[in-house]
């Protein structure tokens, strides 16, 4: 198979709210829970990842190995993550011979395809994704056909004024992308762990008194064709 890449989607957030169910992304729209999404360690709790240097920052998997299925998607088309519950807090190369189902996502293989940017008013941030139950984005048309790991990351920042206070809610889906031009090669690939530091300005931050500064998302820039 062709060597392809893993990609990540980032949703940062601010507003805290009561947890009625686990903060998870258990499926892609049109699939069942944990069919192509690898079951996370917090699937029965609201526990986040807080250590950016742990292996859990990659996919937060409950156990090693892949999910049962791989979802087929089209380059240039839309793909949607489904959250459980709503988003209340104001996301590598799969080597030849491996598939999305058996690749663990280690190494410098990740690039970012989307990030949810807030507006700022009165010293506070407001994220467009806050309160949503689904989040969609368009798969870059120029991606080569092949298997990918698709990682979503929701960063809760309501307690992030000190190092280790940010809360990461993560899921990884196994997808097969087809129909792309395959003309672009993502640069600046990163690893998880390794992409973040606990003191990065988008991770250690007082979101309630930001001085009107533009939010600086963690990780690499968004890849475009």
CA distance 166 to 57: 12
> What per-residue confidence (pLDDT) applies to 36?
96
> What per-residue confidence (pLDDT) applies to 108?
87
Residue 55 has pLDDT above 90, yes or no: yes
CA distance 148 to 19: 31
pLDDT tens across 131-155, in order?
778 888 888 898 888 888 899 888 8
Average of per-residue pLDDT across 15-25? 47
Each domain of the chain, given as residue ranges in start order, spans: 6-178
> What per-residue confidence (pLDDT) applies to 18?
33
Average of per-residue pLDDT across 187-207? 91
Higher pLDDT, 12 or 80: 80
Mean pLDDT of the chain: 81
What is the torsion angle, in degrees rounded to the nearest 10, for the CA atoms of residue 116, residue 147, residue 149 and residue 19?
A: 80
Residue 225 has pLDDT above 60, yes or no: yes
> What per-residue confidence (pLDDT) applies to 165?
92
Q: Tell me the fold of 6-178.
A: Coagulation Factor XIII; Chain A, domain 1 (2.70.50)
> What per-residue confidence (pLDDT) applies to 5?
47
Q: What DSSP string runs through 26-37?
A: EEETTS-TTSSB
Q: What is the DSSP letter of 203?
A: T
With bands split at pLDDT 50, 70 and 90, how would you rate the model's confidence at 87? low
Burial of 53 (0-12, 13-18, 19+ CB in 10 A): exposed
């Amino acid at each position: 198979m062709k060597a392809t890449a893993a990609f990540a989607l980032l949703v940062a957030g601010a507003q805290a709210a009561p947890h009625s169910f686990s903060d998870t992304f258990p499926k892609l729209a049109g699939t069942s829970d944990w069919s192509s999404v690898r079951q996370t360690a917090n699937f029965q709790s609201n526990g986040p990842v807080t250590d950016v240097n742990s292996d859990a920052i990659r996919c937060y998997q409950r156990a090693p190995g892949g999910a049962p299925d791989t979802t087929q998607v089209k380059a240039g088309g839309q793909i949607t993550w489904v959250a459980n519950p709503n988003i209340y807090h104001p996301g590598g190369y799969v080597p030849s011979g491996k598939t999305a189902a058996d690749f663990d996502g280690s190494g410098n293989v990740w690039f970012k395809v989307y990030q949810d940017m807030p507006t700022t008013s009165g010293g506070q941030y407001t994220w467009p994704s806050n309160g949503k139950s689904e989040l969609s984005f368009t798969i870059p048309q120029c991606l080569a056909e092949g298997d990918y790991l698709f990682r979503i990351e929701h960063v809760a920042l309501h307690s992030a004024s000190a190092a280790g206070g940010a809360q990461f809610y993560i899921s990884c889906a196994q997808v097969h992308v087809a129909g792309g031009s395959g003309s672009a090669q993502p640069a600046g690939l990163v690893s998880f762990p390794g992409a973040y530091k606990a003191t990065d300005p988008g991770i250690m931050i007082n979101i309630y008194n930001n001085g009107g500064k533009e939010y600086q998302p963690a990780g690499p820039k968004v890849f475009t064709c």
